[in-house]
Amino acid sequence: MSLFSLVQRTFPTGSLDGEDMKCPQCDNDFLLTWKRYIKAPLGRVSCPSCHTKLVCMHRWFYWPLIILGCCILGIPLAILGANYGVAGALTGWFIGAFCVGIPFDRFLEIRFSVLRMRQDETSNRARLSRDVL
C-alpha cells in the first residue's frame, strides 16, 4: 500500500493533484489560486460562480501541522542565525517559517479546509427569501 493511497483513504475530500475547493451553495469546484489565497489572509474567500462569501473552517490537526511545517526550515535557520546572537536566531526563524509556512498553509487550505457560508451571508439570504415571499 502506497502512502498516496493511504492518504486518499484517510482524507477523502479534495485531491492531491488538483487544487479544487467546492462551494457549499452552488456545488461549483474552483481553484484556490495564489491570487485568491493572498487576497484572503484570514481564510475568507468567495465563490467565483455564485459570489457567496465563504469561510475556511480548519480541522483539528491544522494548527499542529502549521507549527510543524514552520519548524522544518525555521529551526535550522534559527540555529545558523544563533551565531549572530538572539536577533540572528529570530531572523532565521522568521525567514524559515515564512518560506515554508506560506506554501504549506495554502496546501492545507486546499486539501483539508471545510468551506462554510459566512454568518452574514446566511442571514442576508434568509432575509432576501423572506422578502420574496
Sign of CA dihedral 123, 120, 43, 31: positive
114 pLDDT above the threshold of 50: yes
94 pLDDT above the threshold of 80: yes
80 pLDDT above the threshold of 60: yes
Please write the tens of the pLDDT for every residue from 9-67: 544 444 444 557 788 888 888 888 888 888 887 778 888 888 888 888 888 888 888 88
* Domain ranges within the chain, ordered by starting residue: 13-120
Mean pLDDT of all residues in 96-114: 85
Sign of CA dihedral 78, 81, 84, 87: negative
Strand-by-strand arrangement of the 53-57 sheet = 44-46, 53-57, 114-117
What cell does 16 get? 492531491
DSSP summary character for residue 50: T
What cell does 81 get? 542565525
Terminal alpha carbon distance of the chain: 55
